[in-house]
A and B are shown apart, each in its own frame.
Chain A
Amino acid sequence: MEFNKLLKVLHTLIFVVGILLFAGSIYLVVKAWPAKPSFDPKIFWIILNSTFLIFFIVSLNIARKYRPHLTFKRKSKRAPTAEEMVIIEHWRSVRHKAFSGDTNSMRLAIIEADKILDDVLRNVGFTAETVSDKILQILSDDLYLIRNKATDAHEYYLKLESDPDYEVDFDEVKKAIYNYEAVLKELNIVDPAEL
């Protein structure tokens, strides 16, 4: 507390000295007018200002290094992890099966795709038992895309699974596979452009 007062006194003192110097320089100019004074007070002030300026620039140059470094790169592309590589490989085989034209392969593709979705959702952190419950755990509205696509795809899977005689239609399979793929894409696991 005492030191703070001292600091205030010091600052006031510096200010008073400055005012006195300023008054003195005005006095010099006015007294000698219209002739020039023997010592031009502007020179003194310019020298003082340059000293302060140099002090400021030097301090600023050092202080620059202590500024917080916030800059970061946005949307950097990263290499897939080993776990994701496995999923990508698996996904390739699923796509291959789905577009083979054979109804049994198509049925198998949908079942495998659902298994992948199940694993992926579990890895991300949804702990419910079935895929339907896991989808229900997605609460954020920013993720409506994932929620809707996963719901649509999983509905088709449930139809296939519950009824062995259900006739597999290629268009519907295609739609379901694209829905699964959209979810994987949203999760940054599979990039359809690279498949």
Chain B
Amino acid sequence: MPLEISQLFTGLQGEIIKLVGLFVLAIILFNVGEQTHLFWRRENFKKKLRWVMLEILIPRETKRNPLAMEQVLSTIHGLRNEANDLAEYYRDGEVTRWFSIEMLSFGGEIHFYMRLYFKYRALVEAAFYSFYPDIELIEVEDYLSRFPQNVEDMKSKGYELWGTEMVLNKDEAYPIKTYPAFEAIDENKEYDPISTFLEVLGKVKKQEMVGIQLLLEPKTGGWIEEWHKLVSTLKESQSKREAMEAAKATMKTSFPGGPLPIFETVRPEKSELDMFAKSLSRSPGETDVLKAVEVNLSKAAFRTTIRFIYFSPKLMFYDSFARRGLVSAFNQYSALDLNSFRQNYKVSTRLRFWNWPFLFADLRNDYRKQRLLYHYLRWKQPQKQLWAKILSMHPLNFNLHSASTVLNVESIATLFHPPRFFVITAPHIKRVESRKAGPPAGLAIYGDEEKIDKFL
């Protein structure tokens, strides 16, 4: 008797199938409903955040090395918040507040900015002043009002943009090349990787603008635990793993003396003994990688999004400047055995007709630009949950590939720190005009006790 689909739904079997269907539907609807609710509450939470925009004025001479910046970031990491009960999670939609460090170049004039949740201002200032006494953080007007607000606006002003996001090539557990690699006891052999950025940003022509955004969100939850498995595989040496696999392979296939396996007592040859001895120790390279990974995991980490955008009048637009020049500045941090940066090609605004699905390439490229600009102007972190990504899709721009990476404080301090004193080739940076110093001790103060408070 041929099986018909309608027959499936009759009798006891049919009743059970219907119940299973309803149960599966209930699970799907529950999850989707919960995720949608969370998306709404979280976006609402983000929308209500009040921000303050600070300009970081670099002193004329900074003797501190990036370790100071690392300490500042560690302090800031301690300010992290997290949803800690059901009300905060479901009702408030609390997410970890992030902040952004921005390197801007307006026609070759370089500015450093920092964008914070307004209540963190005093604490972040304290962190900065304790490690960089000469630095100044002043509240300024948001430069984003000078940017075109959407692609249409940009085109009518005769501008063109190119932008992308940077991600890591390998797992986040592998660190990039960090500042100790650029340092030496001899001053002539010291380099500051930020000088490349300053040079590239300084070369920007008068009508152009370049912005680099580092969005930093303190990582909550286990950062070491996540990579526990990787560390344990790294602890085993490569040659031991190979030897084990080879041993397994011989065990399975060798049947000496007929179809029945006979246990032979063969004395291992000398080469096998060598292999065994080798398997006990890791090679120097493996040890170095393991060490670097463990050091990387031992420090506080931030969920980081690196995004940059380059505006230029259409006539002067030369996307290789940004596409190659700025990206190559990130190549300094690459270490072959560890990690390196690459462009997130699915986000960068260079879409050609051969990119899948081969339709409306120009239009889709425009929407990529629009998405990037939209995210830049609102300093948005990429969505974490898949359903939140689906909810923020556009028919012409799915944006499933926008991603952030996790970098620890050491890596971030390498990416951004006040340029050191030997970077004198950057005359275009906005700097502090004079050095600050406290009043002489024992200076006579005239006035009542209450007035003294003002001067403290």
Q: Do A and B come from one complex?
A: yes
Interface residues of A (CB under 8 A from B): 1-4, 7, 10, 14-15, 18, 22, 25-26, 29-30, 33-34, 41-42, 45-46, 48-49, 52-53, 55-56, 59-60, 62-63, 66-68, 70-74, 76, 78, 121, 124-127, 137-140, 142-143, 146, 187-188
Shortest A81–chain B CB gap in Å is: 10
CA distance A49 to B84 in the complex (A): 30
A/B pair count, beta carbons within 8 Å: 135
Given known contacts A59-B40, A63-B39, is B370 in contact with A70 (CB within 8 Å)? yes
Task: State whether A125 touches B205 (Cβ < 8 A).
Answer: yes
Task: State whether B23 touches A126 (Cβ < 8 A).
Answer: no
Given known contacts A49-B29, A52-B26, is B16 in contact with A70 (CB within 8 Å)? no
> Majority SS of interface residues in chain B?
helix
* B317 sits at the interface (CB 8 A): yes
A-B contact pairs, 7 of them (CB 8 A): A18-B26, A46-B22, A68-B392, A127-B205, A137-B316, A138-B315, A140-B315
A121 — which chain B residues lie within 8 A by C-beta?
315
A137 — which chain B residues lie within 8 A by C-beta?
316
A72 — which chain B residues lie within 8 A by C-beta?
150-152, 366, 370
* Stretch from B30-38, B172-180, B261-269 forming part of the interface with A: B30-38
Task: State whether A124 touches B89 (Cβ < 8 A).
Answer: no
Task: State whether B363 touches A41 (Cβ < 8 A).
Answer: no
A187 — which chain B residues lie within 8 A by C-beta?
158, 315
* B391 sits at the interface (CB 8 A): yes
Task: State whether B33 touches A3 (Cβ < 8 A).
Answer: no
A73 — which chain B residues lie within 8 A by C-beta?
152
CA distance A140 to B150 in the complex (A): 23
Q: Mark B71-99, 1 if CB is under 8 A from A, else 0.
A: 00000000000111110010000000000
Given known contacts A3-B89, A72-B370, is B26 in contact with A139 (CB within 8 Å)? no
CA distance A142 to B82 in the complex (A): 48
Size of B's binding interface in residues, CB under 8 A: 56
B315 — which chain A residues lie within 8 A by C-beta?
121, 124-126, 138, 140, 143, 146, 187
Given B43, B47, B220, B313, which contacts A125 in the complex, CB threshold below 8 Å?
A: B313
Task: State whether A59 touches B397 (Cβ < 8 A).
Answer: no
A7 — which chain B residues lie within 8 A by C-beta?
89
B84 — which chain A residues lie within 8 A by C-beta?
2-3
* B63 sits at the interface (CB 8 A): no
> Majority SS of interface residues in chain A?
helix
CA distance A186 to B75 in the complex (A): 53
Shortest A17–chain B CB gap in Å is: 11
A143: nearest residue on chain B (CB-CB)?
Answer: B315
A15 — which chain B residues lie within 8 A by C-beta?
27
B221 — which chain A residues lie within 8 A by C-beta?
1, 4
Task: State whether B316 touches A25 (Cβ < 8 A).
Answer: no
Shortest B269–chain A CB gap in Å is: 52
* B245 sits at the interface (CB 8 A): no
Task: State whether B29 touches A140 (Cβ < 8 A).
Answer: no
Shortest A96–chain B CB gap in Å is: 27
Shortest A106–chain B CB gap in Å is: 28
**Among residues 202 to 240 in chain B, which have CB atoms less than 8 Å away from a CB atom of chain A?**
205-208, 220-222
Task: State whether A124 touches B397 (Cβ < 8 A).
Answer: no
A62 — which chain B residues lie within 8 A by C-beta?
40
Task: State whether A125 touches B367 (Cβ < 8 A).
Answer: no
Task: State whether A138 touches B316 (Cβ < 8 A).
Answer: yes
CA distance A142 to B316 in the complex (A): 10
CA distance A33 to B14 in the complex (A): 12
B222: nearest residue on chain A (CB-CB)?
Answer: A1
Shortest B450–chain A CB gap in Å is: 45
Task: State whether A125 touches B26 (Cβ < 8 A).
Answer: no
* B298 sits at the interface (CB 8 A): no
Task: State whether A60 touches B36 (Cβ < 8 A).
Answer: yes
Task: State whether A49 touches B25 (Cβ < 8 A).
Answer: yes
Given A46, A67, A71, A143, which contacts B392 in the complex, CB threshold below 8 Å?
A: A67
A187: nearest residue on chain B (CB-CB)?
Answer: B315
